[in-house]
Amino acid sequence: MTWPQIDQHREYIKSLLGTMTVSAIHQQLRNERKLQESISSFRRWVHATPPEGAARPQVTALRDEFESGSEAQIDWGFLGQWITPRTGRRHRV
C-alpha cells in the first residue's frame, strides 16, 4: 500500500490543503519531495484522511422493529462475475 509513503508528508499536505488544489499539492510533492505515488492514490488518501479533530459524518438509518423472519433485506451491490454454464458468457452479479 502506498498510503504510508504519503502519510509521511501529512503535516506538509495539511498546511497546503486550504491554499492549493489536490493536484497541485501532489505535483509539488513529486517535484520537491520525490513522492512516487500516483495522483489516484494521493486523492484517495486525502479523501480518507480527515484533519485531526474533525468527526466523520455518520449515517444512522432509522427503521421500525419487525418480528424475526417477517422481513427480507436486499444488498444492492456488485458481487462479482458469474459465467453462465450453458452459454459461457460472463454476467455481472
pLDDT in tens, 11-38: 899 888 888 899 999 999 999 999 999 9
* 13 domain residue, yes or no: yes
Question: Total structural domains in the chain?
Answer: 1
* pTM, full prediction: 0.54
Q: Could you give the dihedral angle defined by the CA atoms of residues 68, 72, 76 and 78, in that order, rounded to the nearest 10 degrees?
A: 80
> CB of 88 within 8 A of CB of 79?
no
* 61 domain residue, yes or no: no
* 18 domain residue, yes or no: yes
* 78 domain residue, yes or no: no
* 83 domain residue, yes or no: no
Residue 60 CA to residue 33 CA, distance in Å, equals 41
* 30 domain residue, yes or no: yes
pLDDT of residue 29: 94
pLDDT band at 92 (very low <50, low <70, confident <90, very high): confident
* 23 domain residue, yes or no: yes
Residue range(s) defining the domain that contains residue 15 = 3-48
Instruction: Quote the Cα angle for 25-31-37, to 5°.
Output: 70
